[in-house]
Amino acid sequence: MEPVLSVIIPVYNRESFLERCVKSVAASSLQNIEIILVDDGSTDHSGVLCDKLAEEDKRIIVIHQQNAGVSAARNGGLEKARGKYFAFVDSDDYIEPDMYEKMIAAMEEQDADMVCCGISKEYVDGTGRLEKLSYKHRDSFLDAVCTLKLLIRPSTATGISLIPGNKIGKRDVQIENKVFFDENLYECEDGAFWCDYIVSIRNAVVLNEIFYHYVIHGKNVSRNCSIGKSKLSNLVAWDHIIYKCQGKSERLVPLAELRYQMCLRKMIFEAYCIYGFGSEIEELLPKLKCYRKQLYRSKELSLSRKIYYFGCGIIVKYNLGHGMAMLWKEAKETFRK
């Protein structure tokens, strides 16, 4: 019997998180699933642990490949998948037992092409910080344009987040429209993928219940502040999302342009705080003019958050020094309101 759902888990050096992740998926109340572990050339014991977990549960399939990045790993999982539906879980995250059963039931009840749920952001930094984020409205049935708007909104309280794990899609839609991860993107590849998928669908269901636990720790790729090929791929991804929005609905373009500016200013400011003013930052300064007007005009950001992002750009552009940057960084919590 073919599985209802294929759950794809890319794995790279996550031996301390992997078992909890996989066992949370294996404990799903929806039992007719396949779990595809893609070991992306791990140099710790993650690959061995994948094989051990597969021996314990026949629903687990393991793919071992040379290190090619998370996008290639997820694509490998998509090519191997046999389920009617597909989902992703990052190997440091975990899920609630009834996640897939309830989400697929909502999809089938509404004849939808996609379903999303709320997330819990959990920080492994000794603080025990926890953020529960879900779409503020009650469970909603939306067309593709409204769903894409929720994907790129800057606040998870009014959107659905860019992360891959809180969404389920239909494999026939993915195959028919040739939706795969761009293997040249190292960050924001998940946002670009789900953007490509959403422009191909009719509708989606958005549930406000929190099923997915998104674990944030020092080894997350997005926590690296150095401006190199990985960080710069964020801007490439947002250029792609802007292009897709232009083809789907012009009214989404200003919102995507806003996210580009937010991403750029956050990137150069965080790098400046750690490394100071360097040639990598200097080369990006002209881009501060791109879509700058969206920061002025946007109704998606509070005035305090607009001030924060403008301040990030000013401190870096005029090289106002590490002390000023750290003061501004400390004030971040105030500006997030």
**DSSP annotation string for 69-122:** -HHHHHHHHHHH--SSEEEE--TT-EE-TTHHHHHHHHHHHHT-SEEEEEEEEE
What pTM did the predictor assign?
Answer: 0.94
pLDDT for the residue numbered 320: 94
Which of 164, 189, 222 delimits the end of a domain?
Answer: 222
> Do 228 and 218 belong to one domain?
no
Reported in sequence order, the residue ranges of 262-326 that DSSP labels E, i.e. its strands, are none
User: How many percent of the chain have pLDDT more than 70?
Assistant: 93
94-138 pLDDT, tens digit each: 999 999 999 999 999 999 999 999 999 988 766 667 677 766 666
pLDDT at 220 over 90: no
What is the DSSP annotation of 6-60?
Answer: EEEEEESS-HHHHHHHHHHHHT-S--SEEEEEEEES-SSSHHHHHHHHHHH-TTE
User: What six digits make up the tokens of 138?
Assistant: 């009650």
> Do 189 and 251 belong to one domain?
no
247-303 pLDDT, tens digit each: 999 999 999 999 999 999 999 999 999 999 999 999 999 999 999 999 989 889 989
pLDDT at 22 over 70: yes
Which of 222, 249, 274 delimits the end of a domain?
Answer: 222
φ, ψ of residue 164 in degrees (nearest 5): -80, -25
pLDDT for the residue numbered 1: 75
**DSSP-derived pairing of the beta strands 114-123 and 167-170:** antiparallel
143-165 pLDDT, tens digit each: 999 999 999 998 766 789 999 99
Which of 222, 240, 260 delimits the end of a domain?
Answer: 222
> Do 30 and 159 belong to one domain?
yes
What is the extent of the structural domain holding 316?
Answer: 224-335
Q: 32: burial class by Cβ within 10 Å (0-12, 13-18, 19+)?
A: middle
Contact 231, 270 (CB under 8 A): no
Taking residues 204-231, what's their average pLDDT? 84
> Do 32 and 61 belong to one domain?
yes
pLDDT for the residue numbered 86: 98
pLDDT at 222 over 60: no
pLDDT at 57 over 60: yes
pLDDT for the residue numbered 128: 63
Residue 140: which pLDDT band, with cuts at 50, 70 and 90? confident
pLDDT for the residue numbered 336: 59
> Do 197 and 250 belong to one domain?
no
Q: What is the DSSP letter of 288?
A: G
User: What six digits make up the tokens of 135?
Assistant: 């779409």
> Do 11 and 100 belong to one domain?
yes
pLDDT for the residue numbered 23: 97
Q: What is the CATH number of the domain that holds 60?
A: 3.90.550.10
Contact 82, 162 (CB under 8 A): no
Contacts of 75 (CB under 8 A, 6+ apart): 180, 181, 183
> Do 168 and 232 belong to one domain?
no
> Do 91 and 200 belong to one domain?
yes
Q: How many domains does the chain have?
A: 2
Sign of the CA dihedral running 236, 36, 85, 146: negative
Taking residues 220-249, what's their average pLDDT? 88
> Do 323 and 187 belong to one domain?
no
Judged by phi (left if over 0) then psi (alpha if -120 to 50, else beta), residue 10 lies in beta
Q: What is the DSSP letter of 278?
A: -
Higher local confidence (pLDDT), 158 or 223: 158
Taking residues 73-77, what's their average pLDDT? 98
> Do 236 and 281 belong to one domain?
yes
pLDDT at 228 over 60: yes
> Do 75 and 182 belong to one domain?
yes
> Do 176 and 302 belong to one domain?
no
